[in-house]
């Protein structure tokens, strides 16, 4: 029982990161119909922001804030330089453009910083653990869960209780109607990118705290999982993206923990098969978007 509870903590910790990344993807997709595969590079850039600021002697907490700021800056730059010029392009063109941006940034990271992972050495107290009801729980996974839920709570508040949040939700429903009502499209889109950048930055903070290094390919795999999460949850559905993230995280952790050794090499295949099975039963995802953007 204790083992199961500990694995649930692990699942919440991993699922939370996927949920934040998936939410970042979903917010942008719901408004501009862009599946941004360069979202992983926002996370990587945030990680390098942390690394560089610690290298230049900033205290760890300041470095984390700088990392989130770096991801935010990169998200806004990406929108302004690449995607604003492609406003109205079809989904495939946007997708290919996002792949191109992703590749360009990876090559820049490899050649401009290092092809090797670079270490991030946080204070040893951040790697500690504590006992609760006979379980040993790590400080970082706990912080990860708390930060995830705090971020999601704040975002929910912004989307539901602020004028910009309502404009973004309205844009997700019918962007053209929103423009006809006089809401500035560029601002709504920029804010959606900014939110996705902040979420990627927070994910970078948790990711680097858990993994201790940053490399040019750091963002690729988590964003791939986040993309799967958005499809599972319902492409374009914000709540679905969060749910999908937690489901994928839980599936990964629980199969890692409880699959017999002989089935372990098939773990990823089993997780993805479960996702496909869920989509066969609910083709629009677990919590489909109201606009019905099918996955």
Partner 1 sequence: MKTKTLLMASAISAIGSAACAEDYVIGVMSAQSGYLAPYDGPAYAGFQFCIDEINAKGGLNGTIPVRLIVKDTRSDIAVGVQVVQEMIDEGAEFIVSSADADPTIAAAQITAADMIPTMTFAGTAPVLTQVGPHVFGSYPADNQQAAVLAGYAREQGFESVWLVKSPDSAYTLGGPEYFGEAFSALGGKVVGESNYSLNQPDFSAIVTTIQGAATPPDLIVTWAWEPDFPAFIRALRGAGLDTQVMGGDVLDTPTIRGLGDVVTGVVHTSGGFPDEGSAYADFIDRFKAATGTEPDNNYYVNGCDIAHMIEQAIDAAGSTDPAAVSEAMAGIENGEGIMSNFTFAGTDRMPLRDVVVARISASGDKEFVLRQSADPAILPKP
The smaller minimum CB distance to partner 1, of residues 32 and 214, is found at 214
Does 107 participate in binding partner 1 (rule CB under 8 A)?
yes
Nearer to partner 1, 119 or 153 (CB): 119
Distance of CA 137 to the CA centre of its chain: 24
| 24: contact with partner 1 by CB under 8 A | no
Contacts of 4-9 with C-beta under 8 Å, sequence gap 24+, read 5/133, 5/135, 6/135, 6/136, 6/137, 7/253, 7/254, 7/257, 7/258, 8/250, 9/135, 9/137, 9/141, 9/142, 9/145
Q: Least Å distance between CB 14 and partner 1?
A: 4
Residue from 80, 84, 169, 267 binding partner 1 (CB under 8 A): 267
90 exposure class (CB count in 10 Å sphere: 0-12, 13-18, 19+): exposed
What is the nearest approach in angstroms of partner 1 to the Cβ of residue 204? 13
By C-beta, is 2 or 174 nearer to partner 1? 2
Which of positions 44-83 make contact with partner 1 (CB under 8 A)? Answer: none
Question: Which one, 42 or 159, has the nearer CB to partner 1?
Answer: 42
Q: Tokens for 75, please give them.
A: 């998200």
3-state secondary structure of 118: strand
Decide: 41 and 102 in contact? Cβ < 8 Å: yes
CA–CA separation, 83 and 101 (whole Å): 10
Distance of closest approach, residue 26 Cβ to partner 1, in angstroms: 19
7 lies in the site for partner 1, by CB under 8 A: yes
Per CB under 8 A, the list member of 46, 67, 222, 285 interacting with partner 1 is 222
The answer to whether 215 contacts partner 1 (rule: CB under 8 A) is yes
- The site for partner 1, by CB under 8 A, has a size of 50
Q: In Å, how far are 9, 14, 44, 200 from 132, measured between CA atoms?
A: 12, 20, 34, 30
Query: What is the DSSP pairing of strand 129-132 with strand 135-138?
Result: antiparallel
Q: Are 99 and 37 a contacting pair, CB within 8 Å?
A: yes
- Candidates 17, 74, 178, 293: give the one binding partner 1 (CB under 8 A): 17
210 binding partner 1? (CB under 8 A): yes
Interactions with partner 1, residue window 138-157 (CB under 8 A): 138-141
In eight-state DSSP terms, residue 290 is: T
The DSSP line for 126-139 is GG-EEEETTEEEEH
**Residue 163: CB atoms within 10 Å:** 8
Residues in contact with partner 1, shown as a per-residue x/- string from 236 to 265 under the rule CB under 8 A: ----------------xxx-xx---x--xx
> Binding of partner 1 at residue 117 (CB under 8 A)?
yes
Based on CB atoms, which residue is closest to partner 1, 140 or 188? 140
- Single out the residue of 146, 268, 283, 292 in contact with partner 1 (rule: CB under 8 A): 268
Q: Is the Cβ–Cβ distance between 41 and 27 less than 8 Å?
A: no
Binding site for partner 1 (CB under 8 A): 2-3, 6-7, 9-10, 13-14, 17, 106-107, 110, 115-119, 121-122, 124, 127-129, 136, 138-141, 209-213, 215, 217-218, 220-222, 225, 252-254, 256-257, 261, 264-265, 267-268
């Amino acid at each position: 029982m204790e083992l199961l509870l500990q694995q649930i903590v692990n699942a919440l910790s991993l699922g939370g990161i996927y949920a934040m990344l998936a939410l970042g993807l979903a917010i942008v997709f719901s408004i501009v119909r862009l599946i941004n595969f360069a979202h992983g590079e926002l996370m990587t850039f945030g990680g390098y922001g942390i690394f560089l600021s610690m290298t230049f002697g900033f205290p760890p907490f300041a470095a984390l804030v700088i990392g989130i700021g770096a991801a935010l800056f990169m998200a806004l730059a990406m929108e302004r330089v690449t995607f604003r010029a492609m406003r109205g392009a079809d989904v495939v063109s946007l997708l290919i453009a996002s792949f191109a941006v992703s590749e360009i940034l990876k090559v820049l990271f490899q050649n401009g910083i290092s092809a090797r992972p670079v270490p991030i050495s946080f204070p040893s107290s951040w790697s500690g653990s504590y006992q609760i009801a006979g379980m040993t729980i790590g400080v970082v996974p706990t912080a990860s869960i708390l930060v995830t839920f705090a971020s999601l709570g704040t975002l929910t508040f912004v989307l539901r209780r602020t004028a910009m949040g309502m404009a973004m939700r309205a844009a997700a429903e019918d962007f053209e109607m929103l423009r006809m009502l006089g809401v500035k499209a560029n601002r709504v889109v920029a804010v959606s990118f900014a939110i996705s950048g902040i979420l990627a930055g927070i994910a970078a903070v948790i990711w680097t705290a858990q993994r201790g290094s940053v490399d040019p390919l750091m963002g690729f795999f988590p964003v791939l999982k986040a993309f799967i999460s958005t499809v599972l949850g319902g492409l374009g559905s914000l709540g679905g993206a969060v749910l999908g993230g937690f489901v994928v995280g839980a599936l990964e952790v629980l199969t890692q923990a409880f699959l017999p050794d002989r089935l372990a090499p098939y773990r990823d295949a089993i997780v993805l098969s479960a996702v496909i099975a869920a989509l066969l039963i609910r083709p629009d995802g677990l919590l489909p978007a109201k606009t019905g953007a099918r996955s």
